[in-house]
Chains A and B, each alone.
Chain A
């Protein structure tokens, strides 16, 4: 547990030193979101109806941006060997990496989703459902994303392969996330959708680190 904390602290310190990467994902999220009013026109009722989908898709794409370097940098400079020899089992290393990704990318996206949704004229009644849905949603994205990043590790053109692998897997997150917000703006309870998102998180929490850990071991061989 102490080692896990030390690994997470190292992860956060590294992201702090390379702050540019972190800010890039956030700026991408805000910029991509603000392109939509330009593309489909600023009419409030159209924008407001599309807003949940826009926020979710942009968050999904922005979360993918830093994944390429998540393990890639560690493999290139030999740190991956040292991590695998740090005394933690490989799934725990993958979980620490996924947690680091969420704290540095997922959490800021969650916070930035609020101003973006306001800007897109999303109905205020749907706002709690959007933000509550993004909490398990971004966590699942970090888990799935880090698994994908571990699997394509060492592959040529891994950066291209990664979205192709991860995006289809994130479809359920997108469906239930947008479903929750739509239900709330239509006056229905978003609870079933949110519970399904939580169920996805509960399934991903043990499975993704296990798969990612196996992939890391394989990449080191």
Chain B
């Protein structure tokens, strides 16, 4: 179970959320919604251990998750709003670093890019690069998926394939936390609405 208690974080000089708490059970999903600048990405980065929480705790099975960042990193598959694709490497080489043995081919297959495996990533379209970044999620068994706008620029057929990936991950007891403005194929996901508190106070 992934949970957060009393989280607060700054982005730059601005407090984007405080006293934030949630709990996602195994196999569960949490959708982060709210206007631009509400702190969705900031929250995802804090959960990944990339951003710094000003207050509060992130708990994994009741233990402080951010205590040991290297151990926490092994639990995390993070998809940021940038694809982290190297244009000079081929599609399969892009996934190879840190992938489990034999996982690259099946991951490319899962996002429908198997036929483009040996193509340099610079030849891929924006949507294909995004799909390649989605494939990275399943190159390694990580129980926590943190997704920032995962389906941005991805076609409908690929969203269907992504739905299968999400369902498989959740069926295996995985946790998904996703920030999005688009409808995501996450049935019975809880929703956490971030309002961007400082702007609300200012108004």
Query: Which A positions have Cβ atoms within 8 angstroms of B?
Result: 3, 6-7, 10, 13-14, 17-18, 77-79, 81-82, 84-89, 220-221
Residues of A within 8 A of B69 (CB): 89
| Contact residues of A: prevailing secondary structure | helix
Contact present for A85 and B78 (CB under 8 Å) = yes
Contact present for B70 and A87 (CB under 8 Å) = yes
A78 CA / B133 CA spacing, docked (Å): 11
**Chain A residue, CB-CB nearest to B87:** A77
Q: How far is the CB of A150 from chain B (nearest CB, A)?
A: 15
Whether, in the assembled complex, B37 has its beta carbon less than 8 Å from a beta carbon of chain A, the answer is: no
Those of B46-81 within 8 Å (CB) of chain A? 48-52, 69-70, 73-74, 76, 78, 80-81
A78 CA / B87 CA spacing, docked (Å): 13
Contact present for A221 and B73 (CB under 8 Å) = no
Q: How far is the CB of B114 from chain A (nearest CB, A)?
A: 21
Contact with A along B88-107 (1 / 0, CB 8 A): 11000100111000000000
Contact present for A81 and B80 (CB under 8 Å) = yes
| Beyond A3-B98, A89-B70, 18 extra complex contacts between A and B, CB < 8 Å | A6-B97, A6-B98, A13-B89, A14-B88, A17-B89, A77-B83, A77-B86, A78-B81, A81-B48, A81-B80, A81-B82, A84-B50, A85-B49, A85-B50, A85-B78, A86-B73, A86-B97, A221-B51
Cross-chain pair count, CB within 8 angstroms: 61
Contact present for A10 and B97 (CB under 8 Å) = yes
Q: Lowest 4 A-B CB distances belong to which pairs?
A: A78-B82, A17-B88, A78-B84, A79-B84
Contact present for A14 and B89 (CB under 8 Å) = yes
Of A3, A10, A13, A81, the contact of B84 (CB 8 Å cutoff): A81
Contact present for B85 and A77 (CB under 8 Å) = yes
Contact present for B50 and A221 (CB under 8 Å) = yes
Residues of B within 8 A of A6 (CB): 97-98
**Chain B residue, CB-CB nearest to A76:** B82
Given contacts A14-B88, A84-B50, A85-B48, contact A78 B83 (CB under 8 A): yes
Residues of B within 8 A of A85 (CB): 48-50, 73, 76, 78
Of B73, B81, B88, the contact of A84 (CB 8 Å cutoff): B73
Residues of A within 8 A of B48 (CB): 81, 85
Q: How far is the CB of B44 from chain A (nearest CB, A)?
A: 10
Of A13, A17, A82, A88, the contact of B78 (CB 8 Å cutoff): A82
A150 CA / B51 CA spacing, docked (Å): 17
A81 CA / B74 CA spacing, docked (Å): 13
A221 CA / B49 CA spacing, docked (Å): 9
A145 CA / B51 CA spacing, docked (Å): 25
Contact present for B83 and A88 (CB under 8 Å) = no
Q: How far is the CB of B80 from chain A (nearest CB, A)?
A: 5
Contact present for B78 and A81 (CB under 8 Å) = yes
A6 CA / B93 CA spacing, docked (Å): 12
A59 CA / B49 CA spacing, docked (Å): 38
**Chain A residue, CB-CB nearest to B50:** A220
Q: How far is the CB of A7 from chain B (nearest CB, A)?
A: 7
Of B74, B82, B98, the contact of A77 (CB 8 Å cutoff): B82
Q: How far is the CB of B22 from chain A (nearest CB, A)?
A: 21
